[in-house]
Structure 1
Amino acid sequence: MREVMDVIDKDENYVYLRTTRTQECESCAMKGGCTLLGGSNELNLKAKNTEKVDVKKGDKVVVEMPEVPVVKLSFLAYGIPLIVFLSIISILYTLSFSDIFSFLAGILGMGITYFLIHQYDRKKLKDRYLPVILQKLEKKIDLKLNEKGEI
């Protein structure tokens, strides 16, 4: 999916973008509810500049949004730590450890699992699901003519 976004900042490897989520907000039943709760319909994100498009602050760019495997990433973030937590509790409880010790060991195991997933994410998935800048949109000059046809 391609979207047009505004450049708000840039560094050597990434370009920081802002867009207004109009399509998502139009189909939502809560339309203006986000702003009442302190949210916004603006989305800030960073993108890879693999094409080395020359952009600067204030430019509009066309961005290719990646297809994200939501189920896989959700299982990685929520399913695996939950399985570790329940496994540790079950094993320690069947080995006749106390309930509190089993629970605390399960929490510790889940925390270690989250740390390992965080490390995996930083090393392997770092840039895999970031949007990619395809091109810079040229600014059009809007000239208005007066009644005589002059600028």
Structure 2
Amino acid sequence: MVQLKYDCDLEKAAKAHADTCSFAYSSAASSASTSENIATIPKTSTVVNRVDATSEAIKSWWKNVRTETVNIGMLVTFKQKHVGYPIESFIKMAWAKSTKFGCGAKLCSNNNFFVVCQYTPKGAIVNQVVYQTGGPCAACPAASSCVSPLCVYA
């Protein structure tokens, strides 16, 4: 699996959408090139800024693989039955063909942070494999190197 790289252009797009406080997917989410996760995170004594809120959102999306009842199965294939379920947020993050991501967050008037993260190339494509099972760095692409447990481009 290739290590995701942070992308400032994706951050800019995610932040622009977070600034709307609309809690809806942006037009980028329906494009052929970008996946998107969104979340509202309440401002609390432990979540006081955008960094805290983004961290909480990412943790909530990632934990869906352990708590979701619509299991992706041992073949790790994204299926139509997963669309619209929380597991889809995990799948967008874990999609092996995605190589870049960027996030933005905004504290909205309702005292909730609206967090948006975008990933490219687009993932969560129905009937495609989320990632290949196997050992760390078992199939690193050409021009990448193994920095266990991930394949990394220089």
**Higher Rg:** 1
**What's the TM-score once normalised by structure 1's chain length?**
0.22
More helix by share: 1
**What's the TM-score once normalised by structure 2's chain length?**
0.22
